[in-house]
């Protein structure tokens, strides 16, 4: 028992040391793993800076009766799966709706936009009257590098200028990804793609 407690204490000390060293170097920390955010030197924002990937995407085995090309989002797991042939999927980390803004259902991608403008919906402006009425697309825009609009809803799968929120429940119902990941998904997805959101 004492050995297990010691090992746990060492692990905590290791996380603290990583966090302190990374903070001293100005590196962001993944809030879930306490590891430094991975910088992808091949993915650059409009300002030329590397785009952070909080939760590395990976190809995984995937069971489920979904046609390849379907997007399946597990809000409980805070992961998005892009279904591939042969029982596999690409798994991405996502941010999801905060308590009170969770939802589920099946939709389709109705539009795709690169560096989209953002016009907060009236419901959001009532909650947050301090928000701008319109914001042009760009690196500071909350929708990030790409957006895929979900037909019949106010929701989108979109990028984010806050990579530290990936893996969290913080949005007003939209599905957030890092800019690096949303660009990768955007290039795979077509208008009409089925999106299944599970709680």
Tell me how far the alpha carbon of residue 170 is from its chain's centroid.
11
From the candidates 10, 34, 134, 174, which is the catalytic residue? 174
Specify which residues 82 forms β-bridges with. Answer: 71, 90
Ranges assigned E (strand) in 45-117: 50-53, 58-61, 71-74, 79-84, 88-93, 96-97, 105-114
How far apart CA 120 and CA 7 sit, in angstroms, is 48
Clarify whether 10 is annotated catalytic: no
Q: How many CA atoms lie within 13 A of 20 on its CB side?
A: 6
Q: Give the number of C-alpha atoms closer than 13 A to the C-alpha of residue 82, restricted to the C-beta side.
A: 19
Q: Which residues are catalytic?
A: 158, 174
């Amino acid at each position: 028992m004492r050995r297990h407690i010691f090992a746990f204490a060492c692990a905590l000390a290791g996380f603290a040391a990583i966090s302190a060293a990374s903070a001293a170097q100005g590196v962001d920390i993944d809030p879930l793993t306490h590891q430094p955010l991975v910088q992808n030197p091949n993915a650059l924002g409009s300002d030329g800076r590397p785009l952070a990937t909080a939760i590395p995407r990976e190809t995984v085995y995937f069971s489920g009766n979904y046609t390849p090309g379907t997007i399946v989002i597990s809000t409980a797991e805070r992961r998005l799966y892009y279904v591939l042939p042969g029982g596999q999927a690409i798994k991405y980390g996502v941010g999801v709706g905060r308590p009170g803004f969770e939802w589920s259902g099946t939709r389709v991608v109705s539009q795709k936009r690169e560096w989209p403008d953002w016009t907060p919906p009236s419901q959001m402006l009532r909650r947050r009257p301090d928000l701008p009425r319109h914001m042009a697309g760009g690196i500071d825009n909350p929708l990030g590098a790409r957006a895929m609009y979900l037909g019949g809803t106010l929701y989108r799968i979109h990028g984010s200028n806050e990579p530290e929120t990936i893996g969290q429940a913080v949005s007003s119902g939209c599905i957030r990804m890092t800019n690096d990941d949303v660009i990768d998904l955007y290039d795979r997805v077509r208008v009409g793609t089925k999106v299944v959101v599970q709680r």
